[in-house]
Chain A
């Protein structure tokens, strides 16, 4: 039996101050970037055509270059995140969608980039009539956002509702403190990722939103695996403190954490490296999400849960003492019947 990690005994919770400090710092840096940019009149996030709208330029070529070549030409002129879509029923034509930038003429930008392939035919002449020209811009239209403000608000509301669903389910299966800790960890992951997107001004498209939802899934999955082990250990070792039990649980699931998340990490890394420019923002969001999703279940969710449970326990003890009664530890009593389901 080949084994990566075996009999690990690390004091994870002992480092909780470090973990929390690092996380808070990361979130503050991201938040700072967003607020600073917004305050100085720039954009907090680089929202793409999906959110902001932009300009669709229709260009007709004598010999249409490949989509990738067109995208590259745009990239060279500093037009990032353009959508290049060939018109299949007119093979010489291509649609180029560029995001709206205040004070910049989308058509001029595209023309500037397309001049790489040759001269544009003058507005008065047909493309075929001008032997020196190689393309002509035949249409420029402004397009609105696909996801307008209404849709965006709805998406946020739906995501929050989904998080409440997660909270309630975990609260039912574990304790509500577990649910709250898991959801806080998820918020942390999303905020750190968004902060990263703000700092480096990577374009946020609808696909990036899907990646964010994916990282929520990863993060919750990871947190539940650890919590599950904590629940089991509390049943088996009733004498142990929650602190020790949690450390043990993290250590026991560590080989699983390393293998699963390592594999996912490598797969997503492959997507970042080989997935191409168009998918880069999407795969980067996934990548950061996997890293912080793993980190947060150990470094955020578990310490918060332990801290919270200990406070409840202390408060109960206080209450019990002040009534001068025998000690009753209510909320965190390990004697509580564990919830269990049977396997098929």
Chain B
């Protein structure tokens, strides 16, 4: 090898080492001298490397899914649907209502003509899912017909809502990039509680807000004349209800929702703080055209021509949603459509032309609130709201003593490896130890760059990495010895040794990296934690055990004109 080549190699190695070292022990703020003292480095390490629940502990949150609200909504939805079907079939319905409370979820229809009861029942049960007698019991008294949820169905539906909430929270945690939480049901089954433990996060309040965000999205038809007249709004709720001409009550196929018109920015893109519009009310048709379940994607984007703090959310619909939406918009050109979020109208727009699967939510969003909302929309709406019952911080689940014992044992193991390599391979052993040290520094740097959380499974990945790193060195050294025994000169033995062993090292590393990538992409929890450290470690090892180790040999050989012996 030529001197120039050696110089390039050394420069690359020095730069990578310094970068890696700084990533690991360098503070993320402007460094002071005291950051590089013993306690400074220790503090920096603790803030740079995120330790998981098992090694450091974190927050312990118990939450409850408000299943009563979910069951009430379900009953109300069925009530509205039943009313509409009765009307569509030209049965006269004078009124009706919904009752809700534990053990009593029911809705009734008050018929003008009791003799029609059977016909209404049949028509309703054909379209609405209340015909299943294991879930709903039908009853009639006079001109009142009603359906009551059975207690078995109440239990199943509430349990399903809890499971669904658990899945959605899981998705939101993943989307937030919180690694290795534990999520489990908590308390008796009928308590509908969820226990979340997660390692320390930067902004716990934001995480809690996102986890409990309802994010119920609906696209609805706003009642009133279409464009060019402006959308029909009312200054008060009473006026809105009065406009319905139904004697002060809201008919089941209508809803009155609050709406605050968006303030357009001034010409220079800034907000006018005084131009706050008053709260208004609009009448919308229910059920809506599209609900959040039919979303395919949602993302936060900066509004066109808007200022830095002016964001909106672009969303797209899935196949069923797009079909429905396309059909509706096609037949309602020039009418007004509202985007409703958690029972508040965010924006109103008129249908210019048929739309299929794209839409926007414009409102009063900052970048952060738009991104958080998009995240919760993507993960799906919670079936019912969530309340936090208990919040604590907890210590490491492995226990501080066990961690200390584990660290001690690992150090013993590591010392064993170092002593053996130095004893058995002499000079070359130094190569191996340098390579190993560099491997560990760069692996930690990699973990920090990817923001990975270190847990016991991650440490298993590190153990495997160290094993394979030692193996790479042993493979090379044994091969060099073999070549020396067969009578080759030192430089050619080193060359051959590296070349031959390199093929093996590539094969072992690529195989393991391929399998770990599967684990990383599709795995969850501990499987993923294991794969992250392993992939980083092995990639680093190709550099440290092959490139760096070889460079040290090249440097040794370049010091003399003729090298006859090698300490290996």
A90 within 8 A of B: yes
Instruction: Scan B529-554; emit 1 where CB is below 8 A from any A CB, else 0.
Output: 11000100000000000110000000
Residue pair A207, B526 in contact (C-beta under 8 Å):
yes
A211 within 8 A of B: yes
Residues of A within 8 A of B507 (CB): 170, 173, 224, 228
Q: How many residues of B contact A (CB 8 A)?
A: 83
A146 within 8 A of B: yes
Residue pair B413, A268 in contact (C-beta under 8 Å):
yes
Residues of A within 8 A of B461 (CB): 210, 214
Residue pair B467, A260 in contact (C-beta under 8 Å):
yes
Instruction: Scan A269-287; emit 1 where CB is below 8 A from any B CB, else 0.
Output: 0110111111100110010
Residues of B within 8 A of A335 (CB): none
Residue pair B518, A225 in contact (C-beta under 8 Å):
no
B119 within 8 A of A: no
Within 8 A of B (CB), among A248-267: 252-253, 255-256, 259-260, 263-264, 266-267
Instruction: For B507, give the chain A residue with the smallest CB separation.
Output: A224
How many angstroms from the CA of A175 to the CA of B503 in the assembled complex?
Answer: 16
A14 within 8 A of B: no
Residue pair B511, A224 in contact (C-beta under 8 Å):
yes
A53 within 8 A of B: yes
Residue pair A85, B397 in contact (C-beta under 8 Å):
yes
Q: How many A-B residue pairs have CB under 8 A?
A: 249
A88 in contact with B395 given A144-B186, A207-B526 (CB within 8 Å): yes
A197 to chain B, nearest CB (A): 16
Residue pair A220, B512 in contact (C-beta under 8 Å):
yes
A151 within 8 A of B: yes
B33-41, B148-156, B349-357, B469-477: which one contacts chain A?
A: B469-477
Residue pair B527, A155 in contact (C-beta under 8 Å):
yes
B217-225, B251-259, B404-412: which one contacts chain A?
A: B404-412
How many angstroms from the CA of A245 to the CA of B495 in the assembled complex?
Answer: 24
Q: Is the interface of A mostly helix, strand, loop or mixed?
A: helix
Residue pair A213, B511 in contact (C-beta under 8 Å):
no
Residue pair B547, A85 in contact (C-beta under 8 Å):
no
A132 within 8 A of B: no
B250 to chain A, nearest CB (A): 41
Residues of B within 8 A of A253 (CB): 478
How many angstroms from the CA of A241 to the CA of B510 in the assembled complex?
Answer: 29
How many angstroms from the CA of A209 to the CA of B471 in the assembled complex?
Answer: 24
A2 within 8 A of B: yes
Residues of B within 8 A of A283 (CB): 409
Residue pair A270, B416 in contact (C-beta under 8 Å):
yes
How many angstroms from the CA of A157 to the CA of B527 in the assembled complex?
Answer: 12
Residue pair A85, B396 in contact (C-beta under 8 Å):
yes
How many angstroms from the CA of A2 to the CA of B478 in the assembled complex?
Answer: 11
Most-contacted residue by chain B among A4, A146, A213, A252 (CB, 10 A): A213
Within 8 A of B (CB), among A1-38: 1-4
A102 within 8 A of B: no
Residues of B within 8 A of A321 (CB): none
A329 within 8 A of B: no
B498 within 8 A of A: yes
How many angstroms from the CA of A221 to the CA of B405 in the assembled complex?
Answer: 29
Residue pair B424, A271 in contact (C-beta under 8 Å):
no
Instruction: Scan B402-429; emit 1 where CB is below 8 A from any A CB, else 0.
Output: 1001101110111011001001100000
A3 to chain B, nearest CB (A): 8
How many angstroms from the CA of A275 to the CA of B347 in the assembled complex?
Answer: 60
Residue pair B460, A213 in contact (C-beta under 8 Å):
yes
A67 in contact with B399 given A158-B518, A210-B527 (CB within 8 Å): yes
B139 within 8 A of A: no
A48 to chain B, nearest CB (A): 12
Residue pair A86, B394 in contact (C-beta under 8 Å):
yes
B474 to chain A, nearest CB (A): 5
Residue pair B514, A166 in contact (C-beta under 8 Å):
yes
Residue pair A264, B527 in contact (C-beta under 8 Å):
no
B392 within 8 A of A: yes
Which 3 pairs across A and B sit closest by C-beta, in order of nearness? A267-B413, A210-B457, A144-B185
21 contacts between A and B (CB under 8 A): A1-B484, A56-B195, A87-B60, A88-B57, A141-B193, A142-B185, A146-B525, A155-B523, A169-B511, A218-B467, A225-B471, A228-B504, A256-B474, A256-B478, A260-B475, A267-B410, A273-B409, A274-B405, A274-B412, A275-B402, A341-B506
Q: Which residues from chain A sit less than 8 Å from chain B, CB to CB?
A: 1-4, 53, 56, 66-68, 71, 83-90, 95, 141-147, 151, 154-155, 157-159, 161-163, 165-166, 169-170, 173, 206-207, 209-211, 213-214, 216-218, 220-221, 224-225, 228-229, 232, 252-253, 255-256, 259-260, 263-264, 266-268, 270-271, 273-279, 282-283, 286, 340-341, 343-344
Q: Which residues from chain B sit less than 8 Å from chain A, CB to CB?
A: 54, 57, 60, 182-188, 193, 195, 392-402, 405-406, 408-410, 412-414, 416-417, 420, 423-424, 456-457, 460-461, 463-464, 466-468, 470-471, 474-475, 478, 481-482, 484, 498-500, 502-504, 506-508, 510-512, 514-519, 522-527, 529-530, 534, 546-547, 568
